[in-house]
Amino acid sequence: ETGVTQTPRHLVMGMTNKKSLKCEQHLGHNAMYWYKQSAKKPLELMFVYSLEERVENNSVPSRFSPECPNSSHLFLHLHTLQPEDSALYLCASSQDLFDGYTFGSGTRLTVV
């Protein structure tokens, strides 16, 4: 148990589906993040939330839509994805924006 829980662990979806990834942290952290990890590429920061407000959006396509309803939960809503979006999506949290991050185990997404 890492303190950051991601569900589901694995997800296969068609290009026309809509699905959501969930991240939950019970560490009392104020910042949460979504990262994308593709094969043979560095981890890419997608979104950053601090105190439930989005503070960074790194040119991510609109087919990815984050939501942070409270400081413990972070969602990534997915719709009309492409096969190249297949990757491991990692959620992380930190006490503040310049503290060490605690990562979840990730959701392995396959778009078919």
Residues near another protein (CB under 8 A) are: 2, 33, 40-43, 45, 48, 56, 88, 90, 92, 97-98, 100-106, 108
- For residue 111, what are the β-bridge partners? 13
Q: Judging by beta carbons within 10 Å of its beta carbon (0-12, 13-18, 19+), is residue 36 exposed, middle or buried? A: buried
Q: How many beta carbons lie within 10 A of that of residue 83, not counting itself?
A: 9
Nearer to another protein, 16 or 40 (CB): 40
- Between 12 and 15, CB nearer to another protein: 12
In the complex, least distance from residue 34 CB atom to another protein, rounded to whole angstroms = 11
Shortest distance, position 80 Cβ to another protein, whole Å? 26
Q: How near is the Cβ of 14 to another protein at its closest, in Å? A: 23
Minimum CB distance to another protein smaller for 37 or for 80: 37
